[in-house]
Each structure stands twice: as C-alpha cells, then as structure tokens.
Amino acid sequence: MNDRRRHRRHAGRRTQEQRRTETQQRLMDATAEALADLGWSGLSTTEVSRRAGVSRGAQQHHYPTKMALVAAALEHLLDRLRAEYEQAFAELPRDRRDVAGALDLFWETLRQPPAMALLELALAGRTDEDLRGVSLDLNERVVQIVKEVFHDLFPETLPEDLVDTLIRGLFAMLVGLSLQNSLDGDADGHQAKVLAQVKEFARLLVPDLGTVPATAAATAATAEPQPVPVPVPEH
C-alpha cells in the first residue's frame, strides 16, 4: 500500500512538472510571437499572457518580470531554432543535403518569425539599457551555434580559422539581407541573386563529399531538450 501511495505521489509530481513545462513553453512561444509581430516596443507581459492563454498570475508565478520572461524566451528560441533547423535539414531530399541546401535552409530560417524575434531583441538592445545585458552576447552565441551545426553536417572540410571567419561574414550578410527582406519582401529579387552567388562561392570552398546522411542532423535534432532555467531577477 505504501509503495502504491508513493507511486501515485510520484506520478502526480511528474504530471505537475509536465504542466509547468507546458505553461512555460506556451509563454516563451507567445513572447517570440509577440516580438516578431509587435517588436520590442509593443511587447508586454499582458499581451504575452493573452497570446499564451495563461492568466497574469500564472505568468508572474513563472516569470516575475518582463526581463525574466524575455531571458527565458531567448534561451528557448536558440534551442528551438537549432533543433528545427537540424530536423529540417535531415528531412531534405538526399540530393539537397549539401552546402547549398544548408544555405537555402539557413536563409529560410532567418526569415521566419522566431529568428525575427531574435533580431528584434538584438536591435532593441542597442538603446535599451535593461535589455542590453540579455542581448549583449546574442550575436556571438548564434555564431557559435552555426559553427557547431556546420561541423556536425560538414566535419573536417575546412580549417577551423577559415570556418570561423567565413561563418561570421556569412551570418552578418544574411542577417542584413533578412532585415531588408522584412521591409521590402525582396520585391526586386536582389536578395535572391546575392544568395545564389553565395551558394556558388560556398560550393567552391566546401569540398563535395557527397550528400550528407540524414542521420548527421537527425541525431542532434532528436536529442531530448533540456529544461529552460527561470532567471532570478537581481536585487
């Protein structure tokens, strides 16, 4: 009997933890959605709670301040974007799992709302003192993630110092293009032409080792996600 009671308590605790995780994910997804739609100036905890379908009290219980919510959403977004990219690459047709396909997918990722939410944070951090501490190293963290994914998909194809320089330059260029795309939708096709040239250049630099097996990305994409820590506001 005691064992059964302990089992029920443990099962209930897991259910409570699952509910907690689900609520946090809804809040973080709603934060990213609001950032992409409204920008930093339009983001409020009230709007996030409304989009998440969560009460203000529940939102404040999980994330007491706006900055705590944004910091958690930032971590969530980075993990989500990486996992979704790796999964999408693994699902590409075999003849597209090469450096050109990787760049096409990266460009597509940068134009989606989650990436635009990160861009909003980076831009707003330039003038917002409170946000600057959260977004200061955002660019560097994204670059490191891109490098890790590149090494996973195309291991030992280029010297490390060259990979670092190329990815930093590529990332800066594509972020600039994605910002322009958010304004004009590439009405004149200039961004598409730039991307085509970049892919041709990448094909010259990255040796053609044959198409990347789907397992190269799928293994990382199916890894169990880690819980996002709740930042504790400083006093």
Give the model confidence (pLDDT) of 146-195 as tens digits.
999 999 999 878 888 889 999 999 999 999 999 888 888 888 888 889 99
Please report the pLDDT score of residue 34 as a whole number. 96
CB contact at 8 A, 45 and 69: yes
Domain that holds residue 158: 2-221
CB contact at 8 A, 113 and 36: yes
143-160 burial by CB neighbour count: b if 16+ within 10 A, else e? Answer: beebbebbeebbeebbee
Residue whose token pair is 């404040």:
60
**Any idea what DSSP says for residue 82?**
H
d(CA 51, CA 43): 11
Which strand (E) or helix (H) includes residue 34?
Answer: helix 2-42
Give the orientation angle of helix 45-52 with respect to helix 66-90, to 10 degrees. 50
- Whole-angstrom CA distances from 94 to 23, 84, 85, 100, 212 are 37, 18, 16, 12, 7
CB contact at 8 A, 88 and 105: yes
Query: 163 lies in a domain?
Result: yes
Phi, psi for 182 (deg, rounded to 5): -70, -20
d(CA 167, CA 158): 12
pTM of the shown model? 0.78
Please report the pLDDT score of residue 105 as a whole number. 95
Query: 201 lies in a domain?
Result: yes
Query: 227 lies in a domain?
Result: no
The domain tally of the chain equals: 1
d(CA 71, CA 92): 32
Please report the pLDDT score of residue 185 as a whole number. 87
Domain of 7, CATH number, reads 1.10.357.10
Per-residue pLDDT reduced to its tens digit, 33-43? 999 999 999 99
Residues in the chain predicted with pLDDT less than 70, given as ranges, are 1-14, 208-235
- Whole-angstrom CA distances from 173 to 39, 72, 76, 149, 185 are 22, 27, 24, 18, 16
Query: 231 lies in a domain?
Result: no
Query: 234 lies in a domain?
Result: no
Query: 229 lies in a domain?
Result: no
Please report the pLDDT score of residue 230 as a whole number. 46
Please report the pLDDT score of residue 231 as a whole number. 46
Query: 233 lies in a domain?
Result: no
